[in-house]
Amino acid sequence: MIQERTTLNAAQLSMLRLIGNLKTVEEANELNKVICEFYARRVDEEMDKLWEEGKWSNEKIEAVLKEDLHKKA
């Protein structure tokens, strides 16, 4: 089996150093919650940007809600 090497960037190395300090599952869960909240804020900001640029609207939301997402491609 051939293994590929992955080169980590500075951000990934920083996160590894951070999680290396975790002592309990509770700390890991708390950090996970903070990271999830961070990404949720980023999604909200991007959606606001799309809305302001006119790339997202109530009409598009309605179209997505009516779309059958379980169709096979």
CA torsion, ordered 12, 18, 21, 25, to nearest 10 deg: -80
pLDDT: which is higher, 37 or 73: 37
Beta-carbon contacts of residue 38 (< 8 Å; ≥ 6 apart): none
Q: What is the mean pLDDT of the chain?
A: 92
Average pLDDT over residues 8-29: 95
| pLDDT of 72 above 80 | no
